[in-house]
Amino acid sequence: MTTTMLSSKRGSHFGHIFRQVFKSQRGLFFYYAVLVFLFFPLAYTMSVMSPTVGESGRKYYSLFGASYLYSMPAAVIFILVMIVAPIILGLLQYHYMHSKKAVDTYHALPVSRQELMAANLAVGLCLLLAPVVISFAMIAVVQVITFGFSAAGMTVLLGDLATWAVLTAAVYTITVMVNTLVGTSFDALVQSLQVVYLPIIAILLTIFVFDSTLDGFSSDWIFQTPALAYFTPVSMIVVRLSLNYYAESFYEIIGGYHIALAIWAVIALLAAVAAVFFYRRRKSDLAEETSSRGWLKMATKLVFTYCASLVFGFIITLSFAGTASNALFIIGCGIGACLSYIIMEVILIRGFKGIGRSLPVMGGAAVFMMMFAFFCTHGGLGYETRLPEAGSIASVSIDYQTLGDHDILRDRPQDASHLANPIPGSNEFSNREDFLPSASSGEWLDLLKDVALTDPDCIELVRSLHENAIAALDHMDEEGPFYENFTITYHLTNGGTMTRSYSLCTQEMLEQLESLKFQPEYVQKTFAVFYTGQQQVKTLSYTDAFNLLRSEQFPEEWPRTALTQQQSDELLAAIQADLLARTPEQYDRPESRQVAMLSLELSEPEDSTQYHANPSAVVHTVLEGDANTIEVLRRLGLYEELTASPTQYADPAVSAKVGYYESGTLPYTSGNWNGNRYGWDSYIIHDMESSYMGDAAYVAEVTDPEQLEELIALARNTWGEGEDLAFVQLYTAGGVESDMLVIPRSQLPDSLQFTEYSAEDFVEPGTAYTRNGF
Amino acid sequence: MITAVQLTKRFDDYEALSGLDTTIPSGAVYGLIGSNGSGKSTFLRLVSGIYRPDAGSVTVGGEEVYENPSVKNRLFFVSDDIYFLPQATMDEMADFYRGYYSAFSRERYEKLCGIFPIDPKKRLHTFSKGMKRQAALVLALACQPEYLLLDEAFDGLDPVIRGAVRKVIADDMAARSMTTVITSHNLRELEDMCDHVGLLHGGRIIFEKEIDDLKLGFCKVQAAFRPMVEAETLKERVDVMQLDVRGSMVSLIARGGREDVIAALEGLSPLFVEAVPLTLEEVFIHEMEAVGYDYNNVIF
């Protein structure tokens, strides 16, 4: 008798199992591989082969993602395939565990479960990853042929490959692990989805609940980074595809992203090890079992209950909202917990039989959820009212709000050297002659997001503001609210931090916030002029209040003058002194008009960790009350030029337009600002565009010299609370438009005091009136 | 030799086997009988290493079976609910098993395919229940196991195929000293094949013996009397265990040797008297009564 002895080494069946499993899954593999090929390498190849060609002959590609490998909408299908495939494969491949007769066959085979699982895992990973690796290899070849070899492009491509490999493997191994713990494929599907997605849903819901119920809690800091997206493989993929290689945030995000990816790689590995571990201990009789027992089922049941009960609580509260909304939320959470727990039980045990045994846990879950809801709706056990002792505060940070000029300070230069190596497939790569010079600085500057204050007066002011915020919790309706967002972070002497955010203010809190901005430390840390250090103002550019003064040599630019070191020091000292001398009262009821705008062009910093937005220039607005600066400008011989009437230095054919809205308010401020308390703000002035004039109800064009002089004398960039305003803009025959300034309508000459009924009748020589919209 | 010592297996709150003890000698054909749910299949799954005992042990050739591939390589378990790979043919299943069982014989497989009327190239899911069972038996025997575990092996087989299966198994036993364990709730099915039988009830083997030993202690006799003799008269002459009188025909099971009982009855001048074979069921009923079990509490 001839006996075939295929297994040369007893106990080693890895190769045989591998071949058998591969054979059984080859159909799925074929469809998966075809889809991946169609919607990834083929779509990429077609995209790079058919770019849009601009008029200049330049090529533009419609690829996106950090690696510029993906084309829409092929990417959408590709992502779906990559998300769904590991779960489907996991369910199909390990379906045998959930069939009693299949278990009889597989578990009677002369092979250890460890070997059986290891071989299955190897097959699954090969099936999933082989098409991806081959696709990336094909794309790499196409990329090199089309664009030439790019080390940067290849690096990002490999990063994408690692991302797909790790995340796909993670979803697959988690699905496999879940398969080893449940009795049916349906449970495996439900539990896999729950394990992968429920944690992030629970976290988001918790944040939402805290955000909605706890005063002082803010989720803004959580959502400022994509960290939450790192909790699920799918959102990880979305983040990767939405990364912009050329964006300022790229390097900020990519570091954390790689750490998250490494963690997912560890999770994938741990899930694979756990799958082997659990499979070795899995009872064969678990197949086809539909009980709701087991630690995994209990965990997912409870997390589902947590999420569903919160949603139910909100639905109940919104449906029957009234004075007892807190009580409704608590009751809703309790009812929701019972309902959702029973729903999960029924799903897991496929019926109501034996549901009675679940009642104790269901009751416990309901009590817990009601306690949690009580916690959220009743101040979070002191969370809302906690105020650190003054002595325990080392410093305090408050989110940065600029007062006067455009400079938003930044700190910590970010490495942007990668911009010198654009990615093939991006338009920056195709048009690098235009792109590279802007990236030549090799560094990016980060936004200064908040102001750290250590001065005891500042700390006490912030603490008092916080105290008022706590005190106002119960009577905000009577004293406000005024909408004003601010976030306070205490850095405590014990090394801890405490952060609270508020979006509503009382009148007193608004005044405190305002006065904080005039504290010397706050001013010093928020005006760019204080960050110039030992730098010299090499050149001073300047213009008048209308921003109409131009260089004779370069009509598009402001006039400029060079400064000596002494002049530079004097000017910086004067500006700093004037900024520190400004008061909230001036800010509230401004009497001081804008005199000029200065641009200080600085030498390169020598040793500084902080910079302003434009390292070469600081823009500063000079007001009538800035005596020190005005004195320096006088000494420099610039003051007379800056304060001369535009009709004297500009094109004699200067004209003006005056317009106003029927409401009397400015479009930018209407509805958003409280009682015009913040009416004076050059930011608004600079942001007023010519289109406002076009949108106005009434516009008068003024060419009469006397009227022009009158308007110029009245125009200002400040106004008081409740003032009815018109706005004015000057034009030269050369086509230069001034900034828009305002004039209180009460001060307009009678000839410009037209109304809806008289405007069309009001025509005088040299003056033309129109009524927009009529 | 298969040895179970205090073998226990629980399914949640239900204890399927409770301290089962048995020894199945090598080369035996062991019939395991018992009512539905008595634990026959559970016992075979424990022997084949599918289940892990909750207590006690089961060894084959002195070695634990669970997660022991070298022992499992000598076993083959044919379940009562047969599984084949999706869309597989018998040839493909043969390839599947060939990679696992070191003793798999292609020659034997082809020979068996010739004995049983099934097409090895046809997809198995198109087979009838009986054909699937034949396929499973062919594959099992092609693996040439030392221990063949058959769960309700004859379920769905027609009498001709049953005979063929019995013969093939007998050939394998003769050629390779194969040990076979067959479970069934049908005693007649095992009667002609087994040399050992065990009755599983309440999670334990309550009775087991060699077939030959079973039939030595009593016999079944049929006789006709005219006029009919009194039952008491019959009982005075032989040790009657069961008596059935229909007209002039008497059928009785009595303790003692066949010749002795016939001789005792011939003294009553019967029209005829002859010994008839005892069914396994009849033997069990009386043996169980002998060890103190009430027949009425054991439902087959």
B269: left (phi > 0), else alpha (psi -120 to 50), else beta? left
Euclidean distance between the first and the last CA atom of chain B, given in angstroms as a whole number: 28
Q: Tell me the count of A-B CB pairs closer than 8 A.
A: 94
Q: Which residues of B touch A11 (CB under 8 A)?
A: 69-70
* Stronger pLDDT, B267 or A661, i.e. the higher one: B267
Quick check: A353 contacting B, CB < 8 Å?
Answer: no
Would the CB atoms of A104 and B77 count as touching at under 8 Å?
yes
* Stronger pLDDT, A412 or B207, i.e. the higher one: B207
How far is it, in rounded angstroms, from Cα B188 to Cα B191? 5
Domains of chain B: 2-213 (3.40.50.300), 216-277 (3.30.70.100)
Tell me the mean pLDDT in the region A517-528. 83
HEC string for A53-91: ECCCCCEECCEECCCCCEECCHHHHHHHHHHHHHHHHHH
Chain B residues 47-76 with a CB less than 8 Å from chain A: 48-52, 67, 69-73, 75-76
Contact B193, B220 (CB under 8 A): no
How distant is the alpha carbon of residue A105 from its chain centre? 55
- B109 confidence band (pLDDT: 50, 70, 90): very high
pLDDT at residue B235 in the model = 87
For the record, the structure tokens of A246 come out as 């050329």
Among residues A144, A646, A685, which one has the least CA distance to residue A425? A144
How far is it, in rounded angstroms, from Cα B17 to Cα B203? 4
For the record, the structure tokens of A728 come out as 């004015």
Would the CB atoms of A105 and B79 count as touching at under 8 Å?
yes
Select the residue from B10, B48, B100 to test the A interface by mutation, using most A Cβ atoms within 10 A: B100
Position of tokens 């900020």?
A252
HEC string for A622-681: EECCCHHHHHHHHHCCCHHHHHCCHHHHCCCCCEEEEEECCCCCCCCCCCCCCCCCCCCC
pLDDT at residue A249 in the model = 72
Nearest-by-Cβ selection for B48 from A108, A113, A283: A108
How far is it, in rounded angstroms, from Cα A539 to Cα A531? 17
Would the CB atoms of B98 and A6 count as touching at under 8 Å?
yes
For the record, the structure tokens of A706 come out as 């006397």
Q: Which residues contact B29 (CB under 8 A, 6 or more apart)?
A: B169, B173, B179, B180, B182, B193, B194, B195, B196
For residue A737, the 8-state DSSP code is B
B122: phi then psi, degrees, rounded to nearest 5: -90, 145
Radius of gyration of chain A (CA): 34
The total of other beta-carbon atoms located within 10 Å of residue B237's CB is 16
Vertex A273 angle, CA A271 and A277, to 5° = 110
The domain ranges of chain A are 12-184+233-288, 390-521, 531-644, 648-771
Written as one letter, the residue type at A559 is P
Contact B21, B4 (CB under 8 A): yes
Position of tokens 């297994």?
A7
pLDDT at residue B47 in the model = 95
CA atoms within 13 Å, Cβ hemisphere of A397: 13
For the record, the structure tokens of B168 come out as 């093939």
- B149 confidence band (pLDDT: 50, 70, 90): very high
Q: Which residues of A touch B70 (CB under 8 A)?
A: 10-11, 110
The residues that bridge with A393 in the sheet, in sequence order, are: A492
Position of tokens 């609370």?
A721
pLDDT at residue A548 in the model = 81
How far is it, in rounded angstroms, from Cα B190 to Cα B33? 9
How far is it, in rounded angstroms, from Cα A440 to Cα A420? 7
* Cis preceding linkage at A481, omega within 30: yes
Chain A residues 15-34 with a CB less than 8 Å from chain B: 16-17, 19-20, 24
* pLDDT above 70 for A681: no
Of A2-6, A445-449, B1-5, B195-199, highest mean pLDDT: B1-5
Q: Chain B closest CA to A19's CA: distance in Å?
A: 10
Tell me the mean pLDDT in the region A65-93. 88
Tell me the mean pLDDT in the region B205-233. 82
Contact B134, B78 (CB under 8 A): no
For the record, the structure tokens of B174 come out as 């003769």
List, for residues A222-276, the tens digit of each pLDDT value.
Answer: 777 788 889 888 888 888 888 888 776 777 788 889 999 999 999 999 999 999 9
Give, for B274, the enclosing helix (H) or strand (E): strand B272-276
* pLDDT above 80 for A366: yes
For the record, the structure tokens of A632 come out as 């320096």
- B7 confidence band (pLDDT: 50, 70, 90): very high
HEC string for A169-231: HHHHHHHHHHHHHCCCHHHHHHHHHHHHHHHHHHHHHHHHHHHHHCCECCCHHHHCCHHHHHH
- A446 confidence band (pLDDT: 50, 70, 90): low
Position of tokens 């010592």?
B5
Nearest-by-Cβ selection for A110 from B50, B69, B107: B69
Among residues A562, A556, A709, which one has the least CA distance to residue A646? A709
- A586 confidence band (pLDDT: 50, 70, 90): low
Chain B residues 193-232 with a CB less than 8 Å from chain A: none
List, for residues A603-628, the tens digit of each pLDDT value.
Answer: 765 554 445 445 556 778 888 888 99
Select the residue from A7, A19, A109 to test the B interface by mutation, using most B Cβ atoms within 10 A: A109
pLDDT at residue A674 in the model = 29
* pLDDT above 50 for A594: yes
Would the CB atoms of B70 and A10 count as touching at under 8 Å?
yes
The total of other beta-carbon atoms located within 10 Å of residue B290's CB is 13
B299: phi then psi, degrees, rounded to nearest 5: -100, 120
Tell me the mean pLDDT in the region A161-166. 94
| A725-731/A655-660 β-pairing | antiparallel
* pLDDT above 80 for A455: yes
Of the candidate ranges A213-217, A256-260, A354-358, B24-28, the one whose mean pLDDT is the lowest:
A354-358
pLDDT at residue A56 in the model = 72
- A706 confidence band (pLDDT: 50, 70, 90): confident
Quick check: A290 contacting B, CB < 8 Å?
Answer: no
* pLDDT above 60 for A675: no
Quick check: B13 contacting A, CB < 8 Å?
Answer: no
Is the CA virtual torsion B191, B197, B203, B206 positive or negative? positive
Would the CB atoms of A1 and B100 count as touching at under 8 Å?
no
- A695 confidence band (pLDDT: 50, 70, 90): low
Q: Chain A closest CA to B91's CA: distance in Å?
A: 13
- A676 confidence band (pLDDT: 50, 70, 90): very low
Would the CB atoms of A109 and B106 count as touching at under 8 Å?
no
Give, for A508, the enclosing helix (H) or strand (E): helix A507-516
Q: Which residues of A touch B73 (CB under 8 A)?
A: 10, 110
Vertex A163 angle, CA A157 and A169, to 5° = 135
How far is it, in rounded angstroms, from Cα B49 to Cα B64? 9
How distant is the alpha carbon of residue A304 from its chain centre? 29
How far is it, in rounded angstroms, from Cα A261 to Cα A281? 30
Q: Which residues contact A168 (CB under 8 A, 6 or more apart)?
A: A82, A85, A86, A128, A129, A132, A233
For the record, the structure tokens of A571 come out as 């000017």
Written as one letter, the residue type at B65 is V
Q: Chain A closest CA to B195's CA: distance in Å?
A: 26
For the record, the structure tokens of B83 come out as 């599984």
| B29-34/B179-184 β-pairing | parallel
Contact B57, B5 (CB under 8 A): yes
Written as one letter, the residue type at A739 is D
Q: What is the pTM of this model?
A: 0.74
Longest CA span, chain B: 71
Tell me the mean pLDDT in the region A5-26. 74
Give, for A714, the enclosing helix (H) or strand (E): helix A705-714
How far is it, in rounded angstroms, from Cα A388 to Cα A382? 12
Quick check: B83 contacting A, CB < 8 Å?
Answer: yes
How far is it, in rounded angstroms, from Cα A268 to Cα B285? 60
For residue A41, the 8-state DSSP code is I
How far is it, in rounded angstroms, from Cα A602 to Cα A575? 15
Give, for A280, the enclosing helix (H) or strand (E): helix A250-281
Quick check: A100 contacting B, CB < 8 Å?
Answer: yes
Contact A729, A656 (CB under 8 A): yes
Of the candidate ranges A334-338, A339-343, A748-752, the one whose mean pLDDT is the lowest:
A748-752
- A768 confidence band (pLDDT: 50, 70, 90): very low
In whole angstroms, how far apart are CA A401 and each of A311, A485, A505, A576, A634?
36, 10, 16, 18, 31
The b-or-e profile of A694-711 (16+ CB within 10 A means b, else e) is: eebebbbebebeebbebb
Quick check: B101 contacting A, CB < 8 Å?
Answer: yes
pLDDT at residue B74 in the model = 93
List, for residues B287-296, the tens digit of each pLDDT value.
Answer: 666 666 655 5
B252: phi then psi, degrees, rounded to nearest 5: -145, 150
List, for residues B151-196, the tens digit of each pLDDT value.
Answer: 988 887 888 888 888 888 888 888 888 999 998 776 767 777 888 8
The b-or-e profile of A577-596 (16+ CB within 10 A means b, else e) is: ebbeebeeebbbebebebbb
The total of other beta-carbon atoms located within 10 Å of residue B13's CB is 5
Of the candidate ranges A171-185, A711-725, B63-77, the one whose mean pLDDT is the lowest:
A711-725
Quick check: B77 contacting A, CB < 8 Å?
Answer: yes
Quick check: A3 contacting B, CB < 8 Å?
Answer: yes
The b-or-e profile of A245-254 (16+ CB within 10 A means b, else e) is: bbeeebeebb
Share of chain A above pLDDT 90, in %: 31
pLDDT at residue A166 in the model = 96
pLDDT at residue A324 in the model = 63
How far is it, in rounded angstroms, from Cα A741 to Cα A711? 10
Contact A633, A621 (CB under 8 A): no
HEC string for A617-632: EEEEEEECCCHHHHHH
A755: phi then psi, degrees, rounded to nearest 5: -125, 180
